[in-house]
Every structure is written in structure tokens, then in C-alpha cells.
């Protein structure tokens, strides 16, 4: 048996029955990494000594008859979440040697349940990008076609899950950074409601948009992880004091009579025909399971990309001001303090990060704030109201996750606007603060994965998981694996 192919629930059964040890599972994962990682390049850091120590702790807990819900399960963590004593780089030169003195809340919660930290995954620098080409270290490859990008910014996590280099992973999603790479890599990616999961220890990009979520091999595993990482956190004032349900409880229930909104703005002229066909076929499958499709309108969708890039860059400009070469991280030489500041930021940040800092600083500057940032916030309110109106008519909304399948590395890197449009179907969800999940729904003629996005009401992850699970169990798309 190839243990590295297992999902969380499958591996947990074998571990708890002592048919497989935590070390054997970890051995299998690291052997898989040794086999494919030089081609996929999903990981920045592989803390093997720490991982085997965690595996031994899991073995002892299982042998004592006191296993936790993740005892022995190897999980990858996107490298913008702080891990105490293990470097956290955000794929940036400016943090290339940063060792956090504290643990993020999500990894603390995983640790309390006995997970094994398999490694820290690559991303677009400071999570700014849609292809992982903006990493300050290297570009991750899509396991389905090594000449193509895995999506971003959580491209390393999505590629690691798709390539079976871990059992599951965590990512972060600011404008689609979990769902888009999940779609392009043929795995399941869930962005929870803003405030459902603590952001404490997540290195900030855009604080009102960032949200930690899951990347898994199937929907059930996503529900399992959500049960662990969700909840109010006293260290994060934006985490919501909302009760955490058992997200796996309703999996398997039928979806008969459930209304699924189909927004006409997401099925537009000129979109990739194979993407459109797969998404519409997925809706037909849901209809055959008893769901009721309802055409809806989200009229302010056309303003989402512009709104996002005004607000996100503004927040990025503010958040990244802390990297000045004084407190921590990379420091360049300079003849005086100002020269040191300028050299540090010039050498420490990559081109895309600099571009977004400049855009954000401009939109927040005197004389332009009302014209750009204030207008962006007003447009955001209208986009949020569109969803509120739609959810008065339907239970969930179904759309394609990405307008295209994975494109070739370098294909869009010279055209930032085309790259920004990669997130056109996911950005509105972040602006509205609602949950969304991407699940595999087909393949192109080039054997590249296609994702279906299911969007839900605030704090209604249960319903999107139930719908996603019903679709997943009635299809075979999630069972297909890349030939590495």
C-alpha cells in the first residue's frame, strides 16, 4: 500500500488500529518527497528532525490508547504562518532567516491534536500573486504538467497535496489564494467565512481580506480540519465569537430541494469553453441529485477586481511598512538610516510586492484617498449587498473557480493585469467575507483539472460542504491523480 496516497480519515483509521505506525506513514511521505520534490518544488523548509519527534509523540499517544484527532497525520503549512523555532519566510528575501518566537493559533490547534508538521510550503511572496512565480526563491510546478503553474498564492500547498507529498495542507486566501490553486491542481480548497478561523500568527497581506483555510484530497478531510482550526481566539480581535458546529455531521445528507444560484455574470462570452461546459455539467449533476438551479444576478461583479486591488494594495502598503531592516529580518548596508531603509526594501522585496506597495501607498495618499480607497470601500459594500440579496433567493451559489486551467509558467508574468484577472471568480467572496470552496469538476482536453466553486452564506460552511460532498461522491474527478 502506498501510504502517501491516503487522506486524513483513511490514514487515521489505520493509525488508530495500529495497522500502520506514525513513523511508517511519515517515512512514506518523505520517501515520496524525495522522489518528486525536485520536479514539483512545493516546499521551502522540511523540518525532518522535528517531524520525527512529533511522530514519536503520536506513537506514544496511540499506544497509550489516547490518540487525538490528528495523531500521526503529516500536514504541510503554507510558509506565511508562524511556526515557533522553524523559519517562516513568506517566500521573501526580507524574511529568509526569520525564526518566529511564537506559534500561530492554527498550528497550535493542529499541534494540540497531534499533527505532524511535514514542511513549510512555497507561495507568492507575501501571498501576492496567482501563480507562485512571485516567490523570492523558486517557482512551484503543477504536478499535472510540470511546465505549468500550480496557481497561487498557496501554490506550494496545493501542489504538495496533489502530488501526495503530504496528507493535507493549510493555505491562506486573500482573493482566491486557496481556491484558485486547488482548482488548478485538482484538489479541494476551502476558504472559510472571514473571522471563522484565527489569523493570529498569519503574516499579514491585507488584514480585512486574509483568511486561513484548508487544502485537502477530499471534502470530508476539509470538514475534519475545519472542526479543529475554527473558533474564537482571544489573540485575534477579528475572529468571530460564533459557535463551531461539527462540519462533518451533515456530510452524506441529500440535497433535495436545495436552491443553487447560477450568477449570469460568471458565465460570460469569451470564457474558456471547456471551463464553462464542466461547470454547467456540474450544475446538471447537482440538479440530478435533487438541487434546484436558479439564475441570479450579482450586478457589481464587474467592479470586483478593481475594488480588490485598491483595497488589498492599500492594506498591504500599511502592513509591509514594518519591514524596515531595524526590528527583524534582512538588513542591507547603508551610509545612514534612510539609506539603509531604502536599500533594505529595494533588495528585500520582489517586483510584485514593490508594485503593490506603490499602488497602495498612492491610493492612501493625500488627495487620492477619497477618489480611490473610499470609493473602493463603497464598491465593496455594494458587492456584499449583492450576495445578501442573492442569498434571500438561494441556499448556495455555484460558479467556475478559475476562468482558465493552469497556464504555462511565464505566460502571463509580463502582463500584471492579465495575472490579476486570474482571480476574477474568487475575489468577490473575500470582499463579501463569505465562505467558498473549490472542488474538482472535470478536466480539459490537455488533462488539466477544472474546479467548481460553491459559495455560501456567512458562517454556513456546513451547507457548502454538504453540497460539495454530495457532488464529490457522485463523480470520480477527485480520484484522478497526476502521473509523476
CA-based nearest residue to 120, from 173, 170, 56: 170
Specify if 272 maps to a domain.
Answer: no
Q: Which of 300, 451, 291 is nearest to 378 (CA)?
A: 300
Which range is least confidently modeled, 328-332, 415-419, 477-481? 415-419
**In the predicted model, is pLDDT for residue 175 greater than 80?**
yes
Residue 274 has a pLDDT of 96
* pLDDT, tens digit, 9 for 90 and up, residues 345-370: 999 999 999 999 999 999 998 888 88
- Residues in CB range of 414: below 8 A, 6 or more apart: none
pLDDT, residue 340, reads: 92
Q: Is residue 294 part of a domain?
A: no
Cβ pair 280, 441 in contact under 8 A: no
CA distance 150 to 146: 9
Q: Give first-to-last CA distance, the chain, whole Å.
A: 17
Q: What's residue 417's pLDDT?
A: 67
Please indicate, yes or no, if residue 156 is contained in any of the structural domains. Answer: yes
**pLDDT value at position 62?**
95
* 267 in any annotated domain: no
Say if CB 325 and CB 346 are below 8 A apart.
no
pLDDT of res. 278 = 97
pLDDT grade, residue 423 (50/70/90)?
A: confident
Cell numbers 513568506: residue: 90
C-alpha dihedral sign at 181, 442, 188, 437: positive
| Residue 418's CATH number | 3.90.1300.10
% of residues, the chain, pLDDT over 90: 93
Q: Please compute the mean of the pLDDT values over residues 397-401 and round it to a whole number.
A: 97
The proportion of the chain whose per-residue pLDDT surpasses 70, expressed as a percent, equals 99
Say which range, 147-156, 223-232, 283-292, 369-378, has the weakest mean pLDDT: 369-378
**Mean pLDDT throughout 462-481?**
97
Residue 307 has pLDDT above 90, yes or no: yes
Worst-scoring range by mean pLDDT, 59-68, 177-186, 224-233, 465-474? 59-68
- Domain range for residue 22? 3-256+395-479
Average pLDDT over residues 295-310: 95
Q: Is residue 75, in this structure, part of any structural domain at all?
A: yes
Residue 169 lies in a domain: yes
Catalytic residues: 78, 153, 177
Q: Tell whether the model's pLDDT for residue 407 goes beyond 90.
A: yes
If you average pLDDT over residues 456-471, what whole number do you get?
A: 98
Pick the closest to residue 451 from 279, 335, 327, 304 (CA basis): 279
Cα-Cα-Cα-Cα torsion 122, 123, 125, 126, nearest 10 degrees, comes to -110
| Residue 339: inside a domain | no
Q: Is the residue at 329 inside a domain? A: no
Q: Is the pLDDT of residue 87 over 80?
A: yes
Residue 327: the pLDDT is: 84
What domain count does the chain have? 1
SS3 per-residue string spanning the chain: CCHHHCCHHHHHHHHHCCCCCHHHHHHHHHHHHHHHHHHHCCEEECCHHHHHHHHHHHHHHHHCCCCCCCCCCEEEEECCECECCECCCCCCHHHCCCCCCCCCHHHHHHHHCCCEEEEEECCCHHHCCCCCCCCCCCCCCECCECCECCCCCCHHHHHHHHCCCCCEEEEEECCCCCHHHHHHHCCEEEECCCCCECCCCECCCCCCCCEEEEEECCHHHHHHHHHHHECCCCCCCCCCCCCCCCCCCCCCCCCCCCEEEEEHHHCCCCCCHHHHHHHHHHHHHHHHCCCEEEEECCCCHHHHHHHHHHHHHHHHHHHHHHCCCCCCCCCCCCCCHHHHHHHHHHHHCCHHHHHHHHHHHHHHCCCCCHHHHHHHHHHHHHHHHHHHHHCCCCCEEEEECCCCCCCECCCCCCCHHHHHHHHCCCHHHHHHCCCEEEEEEEECCCCCEEEEEEECCCCCHHHHHHHHHHHHHCCCHHHCCCCC
Q: Is the dihedral of CA 223, 227, 228, 232 positive or negative?
A: positive
Amino acid at each position: 500500500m502506498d501510504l502517501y496516497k491516503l487522506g486524513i480519515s483513511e490514514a487515521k483509521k489505520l493509525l488508530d488500529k495500529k495497522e500502520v505506525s506514525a513513523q511508517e506513514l511519515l517515512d512514506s511521505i518523505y520517501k515520496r518527497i524525495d522522489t518528486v520534490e525536485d520536479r514539483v518544488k512545493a516546499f521551502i523548509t522540511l523540518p525532518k528532525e522535528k517531524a520525527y519527534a512529533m511522530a514519536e509523540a503520536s506513537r506514544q499517544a496511540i499506544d497509550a490508547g489516547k490518540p487525538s484527532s490528528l495523531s500521526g497525520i503529516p500536514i504541510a503549512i503554507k510558509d506565511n504562518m508562524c511556526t515557533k523555532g522553524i523559519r517562516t519566510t513568506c517566500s521573501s528575501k526580507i524574511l529568509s532567516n526569520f525564526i518566529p518566537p511564537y506559534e500561530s493559533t492554527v498550528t497550535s490547534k493542529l499541534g494540540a491534536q497531534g499533527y505532524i508538521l511535514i514542511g513549510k510550503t512555497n507561495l507568492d511572496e507575501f501571498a501576492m500573486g496567482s501563480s507562485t512565480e512571485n516567490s523570492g526563491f523558486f517557482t512551484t510546478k503543477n504536478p499535472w504538467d510540470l511546465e505549468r503553474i500550480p496557481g497561487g498564492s498557496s501554490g506550494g500547498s496545493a501542489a504538495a497535496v496533489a502530488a501526495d507529498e503530504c496528507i493535507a495542507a493549510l493555505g491562506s486566501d486573500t482573493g482566491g489564494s486557496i481556491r484558485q490553486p486547488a482548482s488548478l491542481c485538482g484538489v479541494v480548497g476551502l476558504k472559510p467565512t472571514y473571522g471563522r478561523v484565527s489569523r493570529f500568527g498569519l503574516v499579514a497581506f491585507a488584514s480585512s481580506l486574509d483568511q486561513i483555510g484548508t487544502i485537502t484530497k477530499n471534502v470530508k478531510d476539509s470538514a475534519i480540519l475545519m472542526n479543529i482550526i475554527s473558533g474564537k481566539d482571544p489573540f485575534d480581535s477579528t475572529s468571530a465569537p460564533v459557535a463551531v458546529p461539527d462540519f462533518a455531521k451533515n456530510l452524506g445528507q441529500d440535497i433535495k430541494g436545495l436552491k443553487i444560484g447560477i450568477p449570469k455574470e460568471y458565465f460570460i462570452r469569451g470564457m474558456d469553453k471547456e471551463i464553462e461546459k464542466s461547470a454547467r455539467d456540474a450544475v446538471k449533476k447537482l440538479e440530478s441529485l435533487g438541487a434546484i438551479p436558479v439564475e441570479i444576478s450579482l450586478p457589481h461583479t464587474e467592479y470586483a477586481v478593481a475594488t480588490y486591488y485598491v483595497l488589498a494594495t492599500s492594506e498591504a502598503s500599511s502592513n509591509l511598512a514594518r519591514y524596515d531592516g531595524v526590528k527583524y529580518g534582512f538588513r542591507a548596508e547603508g551610509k545612514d538610516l534612510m539609506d539603509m531603509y531604502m536599500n533594505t526594501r529595494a533588495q528585500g522585496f520582489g517586483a510584485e510586492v514593490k508594485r503593490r506597495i506603490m499602488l497602495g501607498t498612492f491610493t492612501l495618499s493625500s488627495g487620492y484617498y477619497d477618489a480611490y480607497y473610499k470609493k473602493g470601500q463603497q464598491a465593496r459594500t455594494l458587492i456584499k449587498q449583492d450576495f445578501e440579496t442573492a442569498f434571500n433567493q438561494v441556499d448556495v451559489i455555484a460558479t467556475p473557480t478559475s476562468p482558465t486551467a493552469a497556464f504555462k509558467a511565464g505566460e502571463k508574468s509580463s502582463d500584471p493585469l492579465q495575472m490579476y484577472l486570474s482571480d476574477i471568480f474568487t475575489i468577490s467572496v473575500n470582499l463579501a467575507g463569505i465562505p467558498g470552496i473549490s472542488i474538482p469538476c472535470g478536466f480539459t482536453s490537455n488533462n488539466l483539472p477544472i474546479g467548481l466553486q460553491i459559495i455560501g452564506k456567512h458562517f454556513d460552511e456546513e451547507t457548502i460542504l454538504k453540497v460539495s460532498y454530495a457532488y464529490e461522491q457522485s463523480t470520480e474527478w477527485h480520484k484522478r491523480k497526476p502521473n509523476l
